[in-house]
Structure 1
Amino acid sequence: MNYDLDTKQICGELESSEHRRRNNALQRLCEQVEQAPETVSSDAIAADFDELYLHLLKCYDDRFESVRDHAVLAVNAFLERLPPSDFHLLNVVATLADRMGQPETVEPSEEIRLRYVQQLHLMLRKYARMGNVGVFRECYPQVVKVLVKSIRDEYAAVQREGCATLVQLARVADTQELRPFTEQLAIALYTMLNHRHSAARIAAIEALGRVCLHMDASGEGMRRLFMEVSPLLMDSMPLVRRACGELGVLLLLELPDRYSYFERILPLVLCCLKDDSPEVLRFIRPLWVKCGEQYYEENEAELSQQEICDPQVDNYPSDVQRPTIGCRGLVQRSLRLLQLITRETGDWKENVRLHSLKLLYQFVLHAESAMTAKFFEIYGQLAQVCCDSEYAVREEAAKVADLLGRLLAYNAWIEHGFEGLERNAREPYLRCFYHMFNAANGGTYDQLLRLCKLLRSTDYSHTLKEHFQRFILKTLYTVLVKSRRLTAPMEDIHALYEVFYVIATKVTALAFSRTDTCNGEVKYGKEIIDLLAEVMDIKPEMLHVRWFALALLDVQNLDTALDETAEPVQLLYGLVHIAGIRTTYLPQLIAMLKLVFGHCSDSAQVHVFSAVSLAALNWGDTVWAEREQGTQLLSNFVNEIVEPHLVWKAGASGEAMRSMAMATLCALAQHAGDVVLEVLPAYAKHMPSLLEDRNVTTRHYAAKTMIYFRGMSVEVLKPLAYATMQRLDDPSAGIRVIAARSLGIMRPEFKSQATDAGDGEGEGEGEYEREVWEAFVKRAMDLLLLHLESPEAEMKHAARDSLTQLAKQHPAAWQERYERALTLAHNQDVLAELYAQLSIADGPKTATE
């Protein structure tokens, strides 16, 4: 296509009053310039532009949008082919400033405003490519006005193009020439940082990065920039966070006064190294390594020596790659940043706390042992956030504490850790200490013993807080693991394990005593005790036998008016549940129970007595003694603890205690073995009243205990037998069934069976006793036959079973009672059938038979 412009005709058409002619002329002109052959010299094109530019620029103010649009495109076509010229530049920029640089919006079309900014960008690229960017020196004020207006534009595309143009300008501009305008540009860019479009925020961050390279380092502009950009490190869009990291890398590499701003620049990069998005990590990590390489080159003499003396620790996190020496050096010279980071971990916003902890993690990872001296400054704040209400924050705090324990010099921080525990006996400090201590390699015998003694104190092991208990147990597990590496004498190890056992038992006991859900802590505590037994190569029961008395010694202040929620009461309650009743500490336990029954509130007494009654179920398994000693131990226990509460006392508390005492006696009768048969007869005097107690639970346990009163004379057993027989009419169906079954099992010991000599006096007394007992049996048969017609199936079975037993022992009485009942029975067929089954042809049989 031949390039031959008729400039006069074009000018005439551009001056036409018809906008169509103007529009068509501009279109043709744009096409001719764009398609002009390369052989056409730039001077020829420049000559044509000199004749046309006034008419073209005048079209920028045309009232028709299409004319303005094609005018911009035509000027762009000329600019692509023109040589750099201050004359052309100043005219075009001045026109753009008139259209885009005014306080008010002159150009109503968003698309045309975008064209204006793109044209400015085109000129910047063209002049930069030709190495003649200095020609912009005289028109910086107009250019900046256009850029500021575009950045503040309501149209997002215009804003992004304005940022891209500013980036191009900042790349090629001379710092001294652009510096007077940097603050004005930065303030405009700050308004874009909260834009709803992530692309606009990213464009603003990139532009700010380039602009700040020209700022005055001694002014407030740099400080405000970091303050404005830092919140975007928590942006919801990964690409925005990546842009912040890229900004930090740019400043670390190119900012002239970067050494003065390391403490403010580093968070921009370090936060991206702990970002949740893999895309951000992949992008930032190599750039961060590049920053470290540059810093190493600038400080090689110092860092090369440090690299030799700073080997990687043995317990370095396996899933983390150690930063290079240059990257570590960058962070290690900025330790003052710690105070700012830790202060933000206490912010009221969850995302700020989480963000600051992620930053702190990277700071620790790079600073390593260099920040050991700063540990005491962050210990308290990190401890508090270890107990944060938000799970994600707690987990991140735990990771930071774990890393601290691995990388800090152990012998230097451990003393601060112990001081924190001693001065602040609270869960946050223990959590933080646990994470550090668990990750660290150290742990001498003296340190483990000191830790155990500290945890044994009431401030720790007597806590009722669920999570506090959990971390005490977790710390104990760490102590147990570290103790297996010790080479101390066996006596010292056992002294350590003794304190260890007391702590584990008390914490588990208090966890058990809580009314809320505590299965997790109880289970974990028992596992800890089992592990200790495994390490010592003994059974867990032997640990209780050996050391449980020490745990009981820590139960204090039982001689005061405590209720059931008080810590000493709950501790004693849980201890009895955990270890039960054992020979080695039974006298000590009895003394404590007497204190509770003598001083504590009614609810506390019932609470503790309930634990004792349950522990009594395992008496035969936990109290190991010879028969004579076992009988004495059981007798003392019942005399001191149970019998005083079997006696009737008025009031609800007296009723509750009788019920607990009867439950304990019933448990002992069932599970204490043969020795209970020697002890029970002494308490037969209490049973008749207990069988008639108003409390159904008391009557129930009393009825269940009746069958264990054996080897007693008719005189002693008779009141019990008749009291039991009266329970056949009890309001409780369960008690009626138990009483019915008991009547068939109860057996007296007659005088003739008890005497070796066959004197007539003994035989006479024996005959009398048999007559007395025979009268009871007949009465019992009458009642059982009556209940045989009961509508309750279980009662009928119980009555049948007892009648079977009584008929075998007393066939004559059975024959008599059957004949009497037959005339009164409603269902004679059933009675006859039972009689046929129970007929004893051979006469009465003895109990042995």
Structure 2
Amino acid sequence: MAAGDEHATSEVLRGLNRHLNCLNEDNKATRKRALEFIRKETVDKGLSSGVLQEVFSALLKPLLKCLTDPMERCRETAIAVLTKFIRCVPRPEEALPCLMLCLAQRYGEKEILEPAEELRLSAVEMLTLTVEVCGGHLAPYLNEMISILQRTIVDPFPDVKRESCRCTVNFAKCVPEHFHMQAESLVKPLMLTIAHQHSRVRVSVIEATGAVIQHGSGKNVDDVLSHLAQRLFDDSPQVRKAVTTVVGDWLLHMRDRYSYFHKLIPLLLSSINDEIPEIRLLAADLWRQVGAQWEKENEDDIKDKMDFLLNPPPHYPPGVERPGLGCRELVVRNLGRLIPAITHDVTDWLAPTRVRTSQLLSVLLLHAEDHNTQHLQPLLATFYRASIDTNTDVVNNCLAAAKLLGTFVPPPVFLKLLLEHVTTPYSSSHPWIPLMVLAAVLGGCSKPLIKPHLQQIADTLTQPDVCQEYQQVMYLEQLLACVDVLLHQCESDCGSVSLQLLQVLVTVQSLSREPELSEKALDSVQLLCKVQGLDSVMELHRRHMVQLLDWLSASVNTWSSYSPQRLQLHIIVMQSGPVIGEYLSQVMPLLYSCLQPNRDPEMRMSIFTMLAKLLLDANNTLDSQGHFRDESEKFLCDILLPNLVWQAGRTAAAVRTSALSCLLALLHGGAITPGQLLCREEKLCPRVLSALEEDSQLSRLLACRSLSAILRLIGASLHHEALNKIYPELLKCLDASSEEVRDVALQALGLWFSSLTDNYNPELCAPHLQLLFQQLLLHLDDPDSSVQDQVLEILKKGSSIHSALLKTEVEAVRDRQRTPVYCDQLLQHISSLPRLAPSQ
């Protein structure tokens, strides 16, 4: 030291002697003034660096002693003076022996002795400054530094935690060759703090963790990975960004990184799907650097691939940037170790974990490309497990990954497994899962690759165990999805499996109880027509009607109310329109077989209901070619009449009701001629008349309407004996509780009178007419005026048959009626008739 500096130093210290002595006074104000004077006369005075260094050496111990001063202001001033000295002196490392010992005693023990959190923060800031200015000189004080940081990292004051983490990062970088020996002891306090409520603290802890692991022994990676993985779901983007930066730095620079690639890669790749664009771009950039670095380090091993595998595989997903070779190779070489972890985490109890894992799955498959083939079975198992998740994001991400599988794995490979799983479902409670995955995988496969396997796929989908076994909406939706993806991927090539696809679509429509799903299936039928250039659904049915009916006929003898075939028949005949009339030779035996009286009652009811709809519009359905009329008489005798025979029980009554509705449709639809009806009248009318006595109001109503239709068609051709058997049953219906039944019965009676021709002898049948007139006159006095009006019109018709008899009966009851108005109107009408002989 120069003589001038020695003299200046002596002068400064001489001036400070008295104040140094005051530091030991009991009066706290005196100690405080002394410290402030020392600061004023030293660090604040602008002394030369040489003088300042000597003064600092002389003042260090007294100042360190002040760190234990009872007065907070004194401790604060002492820390401030020490900090300025450390910052200003040229050789701050000379103070380390005393400084580090003192700091370790005060801040590195089990219990921190400094109660003021602001002073603890100042002390740690001073320690950070010491690390910055002393650097490698701190190596001998590794134990002291670690003991301090262990305590301050878990300090209750958040700012102390953050500053401690900053200090840790700096210290690790300053003495890396020594730090690794004690780095492990900082892992526990850091992990205790990593979930702190303040996001800035979490960021600092993550950065410190990165430095500790980076410059540590490498043995503690497993201890921190799970904690870092949880921070990937942090609400704070800055925290997620910090994790991404740290993991990327490890992958690039950690000494033993090759041993941890399979654990670190998922963390970095997970950030590629982060919701914040900045984090996504950061992760992608770091990943490119990692891949490029690995590629350079392993250039000799992958030289052939670098030279020959430059072009992406055919049918690579459009709009997707292909990862670099190094990135792809890293994933390929670690995929076998990654998949078990993915399979585990994709069913984690936390939804965010499952979502992030399912996103990661797509990224991995995109990198692995055709190497996915080697891991197909565990990948499918993962898809199946993820597809039953209640979170739609997990399911959608899983299906997106499955689509990539279809892009890179050859169809013969994935179909061998998938089709087997479709026929033997992965889960009895979720049988649709293999179908869901199959649809997704096929969606990623190209048309040229699927085409050779269309027949195999379609044949599998039409197997009864696959197509007809389950009626859950989800199952049918996925069955429909498989057909739709084939139609969209293969288009016109689907013509070769048009029949099988139509069978599946017919089945979906028949089993679906959701109108929306049925509409979707019908849309798919129309798409099937479109890809084949057919004008309409009817044309499609015409092309395959023979095979469809053979398909149904093969099992018709085993049908029951639970059989899907009866529902399939309904869809086929209803959607075929006029085409069904071209194939009566196949349709009618089918109907005869399943409508025999000994077959399942509920099945017969549903088919009768279907037939009623068809027969009401017979000219555009069953009789579109005019051939059904040749079958109608046989149909009436062999199908309808046997099902109208009375049997005990509610189910039997319901069958008769449905048969009556079919009969009425046959009569109204014009599919049977009057001549054919007249030939079978003797068998038909008794069945219909007996139905008028059914308990069911609907049955009586249908029977009345059927009688009206019969009278309208062949009433004039009926013998008087047949006619006289009809009216008594109709009269009974006038006492029914149902207004609708009474109304239809009155209409039938009006038609009955209209059916009387010249061959009907009124004198011979006078007793019948008399009974009929008497009963109708009773209802002429009905409380309901509309009934009175109807009865009046009917009696006016009857007056032309035997006016004298009617006049006598009217006069006999006129005075007993509540109101004689209707009787007078009827008598007036009779008197206006021309005087003709009764026989006329």
TM over 0.5: yes
Pairs within 5 Å for 1:637-652: 637-652=635-650
Give CA deviations for 1:751-796 in whole Å, capped at 9, x if unaligned: 76xxxxxxxxxxxxx252x556777667656655654554546645
Does the CA-based 8 Å contact 2:792-2:822 persist in structure 1? Answer: no
Q: Show the counterpart of 1:97.
A: 104
Structure 1 residue 519: deviation in Å?
Answer: 1.1
Query: Is residue 81 from structure 1 mapped to residue 77 from structure 2 by the alignment?
Result: no
Pairs within 5 Å for 1:23-42: 23-30=32-39, 35-37=44-46, 40-42=47-49
Paired residue secondary structure (1:16): coil
Q: Show the counterpart of 2:664.
A: 666
Normalised by the length of structure 1, the TM-score is 0.86
Return the letter of the residue paired with 1:645. Answer: N
Which is worse superposed, 18-27 or 741-750?
Answer: 741-750
- Pick closer, same or farther for the CA change 1:781–1:146 going to 2, 3 Å: farther
Paired residue secondary structure (2:130): helix
Distance 2:546 2:102 in 1: 97
The number of residue pairs the alignment matches comes to: 804
Does the CA-based 8 Å contact 1:7-1:51 persist in structure 2? Answer: no
Which is worse superposed, 460-469 or 153-162?
Answer: 153-162
Give CA deviations for 1:179-217 in whole Å, capped at 9, x if unaligned: 111111112212123333333332222111111112334
Return the letter of the residue paired with 1:328. Answer: R
Return the letter of the residue paired with 2:190. Answer: L
Q: Show the counterpart of 1:338.
A: 339
Q: Show the counterpart of 1:460.
A: 466
- Pick closer, same or farther for the CA change 1:353–1:616 going to 2, 3 Å: farther
Pairs within 5 Å for 1:119-518: 119-127=126-134, 133-174=135-176, 176-217=177-218, 219=219, 221-299=220-298, 302=302, 305-306=305-306, 309-312=309-312, 315-318=315-318, 320-336=320-336, 337-410=338-411, 412-422=413-423, 424=425, 426-442=431-447, 443-462=449-468, 463-486=470-493, 495-511=496-512, 514=513, 518=514
Does the CA-based 8 Å contact 2:359-2:397 persist in structure 1? Answer: yes
Q: 108, 121, 130: which one pairs with 2:115?
A: 108
Distance 1:305 1:498 in 2: 46
Distance 1:31 1:593 in 2: 113
Structure 1 residue 250: deviation in Å?
Answer: 0.7
Return the letter of the residue paired with 1:533. Answer: C
Distance 1:649 1:280 in 2: 78
Does the CA-based 8 Å contact 1:303-1:325 persist in structure 2? Answer: no
Q: Show the counterpart of 1:22.
A: 31
- Pick closer, same or farther for the CA change 1:229–1:588 going to 2, 3 Å: farther
Q: 714, 726, 729: which one pairs with 1:711?
A: 714
Paired residue secondary structure (2:714): coil
Return the letter of the residue paired with 1:141. Answer: N
Does the CA-based 8 Å contact 1:677-1:708 persist in structure 2? Answer: no
Return the letter of the residue paired with 1:637. Answer: F
Distance 1:440 1:815 in 2: 89
Does the CA-based 8 Å contact 1:382-1:432 persist in structure 2? Answer: yes
Distance 1:453 1:406 in 2: 23
- Pick closer, same or farther for the CA change 1:284–1:813 going to 2, 3 Å: farther
Pairs within 5 Å for 1:755-774: 766-768=759-761, 770-771=762-763
Query: Is residue 530 from structure 1 mapped to residue 536 from structure 2 by the alignment?
Result: no
Which is worse superposed, 426-435 or 794-803?
Answer: 794-803
- Pick closer, same or farther for the CA change 1:550–1:721 going to 2, 3 Å: farther
Distance 1:706 1:672 in 2: 15
Distance 1:197 1:69 in 2: 26
Does the CA-based 8 Å contact 1:179-1:215 persist in structure 2? Answer: yes
Paired residue secondary structure (1:54): helix
Q: Show the counterpart of 2:740.
A: 734
Distance 2:43 2:585 in 1: 106
Query: Is residue 826 from structure 1 mapped to residue 835 from structure 2 by the alignment?
Result: no
Distance 2:453 2:404 in 1: 20
Does the CA-based 8 Å contact 2:664-2:705 persist in structure 1? Answer: yes
Distance 1:738 1:526 in 2: 39
Return the letter of the residue paired with 1:722. Answer: P
- Pick closer, same or farther for the CA change 1:819–1:97 going to 2, 3 Å: same
Paired residue secondary structure (2:664): helix
Structure 1 residue 332: deviation in Å?
Answer: 2.9
Which is worse superposed, 692-701 or 569-578?
Answer: 569-578
Does the CA-based 8 Å contact 2:559-2:566 persist in structure 1? Answer: no
Distance 2:620 2:757 in 1: 35
Pairs within 5 Å for 1:619-638: 619-624=618-623, 627=626, 629-638=627-636
Structure 1 residue 126: deviation in Å?
Answer: 2.4
Paired residue secondary structure (2:232): helix
Distance 1:44 1:92 in 2: 20
Paired residue secondary structure (1:180): coil
Does the CA-based 8 Å contact 1:45-1:82 persist in structure 2? Answer: yes
Query: Is residue 540 from structure 1 mapped to residue 537 from structure 2 by the alignment?
Result: yes
Does the CA-based 8 Å contact 2:614-2:621 persist in structure 1? Answer: no
- Pick closer, same or farther for the CA change 1:170–1:697 going to 2, 3 Å: same
Does the CA-based 8 Å contact 2:615-2:621 persist in structure 1? Answer: no
Distance 2:198 2:745 in 1: 83
Gaps of 5+ in 2: 1-7
Does the CA-based 8 Å contact 2:691-2:699 persist in structure 1? Answer: yes
Distance 1:838 1:253 in 2: 115
Structure 1 residue 257: deviation in Å?
Answer: 2.4
Distance 1:395 1:233 in 2: 21
Does the CA-based 8 Å contact 1:247-1:268 persist in structure 2? Answer: no
Structure 1 residue 410: deviation in Å?
Answer: 4.9
- Pick closer, same or farther for the CA change 1:839–1:420 going to 2, 3 Å: farther
Does the CA-based 8 Å contact 2:66-2:74 persist in structure 1? Answer: yes
Pairs within 5 Å for 1:524-603: 524-534=520-530, 535-548=532-545, 550-551=547-548, 553-554=550-551, 564-565=561-562, 583-594=584-595, 598=598, 600=600, 602-603=601-602
Structure 1 residue 259: deviation in Å?
Answer: 2.4
Paired residue secondary structure (2:388): coil
Give CA deviations for 1:237-277 in whole Å, capped at 9, x if unaligned: 43333322222211122112222322111111110111233
Return the letter of the residue paired with 1:638. Answer: L
Compute the RMSD of aligned alpha carbons: 3.5
Distance 1:843 1:324 in 2: 112
Structure 1 residue 161: deviation in Å?
Answer: 1.8
Structure 1 residue 810: deviation in Å?
Answer: 7.8
Paired residue secondary structure (2:734): helix
Does the CA-based 8 Å contact 2:506-2:568 persist in structure 1? Answer: no
Does the CA-based 8 Å contact 1:613-1:667 persist in structure 2? Answer: yes
Normalised by the length of structure 2, the TM-score is 0.86
Q: Show the counterpart of 1:763.
A: none
Distance 1:839 1:185 in 2: 123
Give CA deviations for 1:325-349 in whole Å, capped at 9, x if unaligned: 4433432332222232233324444
Paired residue secondary structure (2:110): coil
Paired residue secondary structure (1:21): helix
Q: Show the counterpart of 1:65.
A: 72
Query: Is residue 722 from structure 1 mapped to residue 722 from structure 2 by the alignment?
Result: no
**Percent of residue pairs identical:** 23
Distance 1:772 1:105 in 2: 129
Give CA deviations for 1:105-143 in whole Å, capped at 9, x if unaligned: 32222222222222111111223xxxxx21011101000
Structure 1 residue 452: deviation in Å?
Answer: 0.8
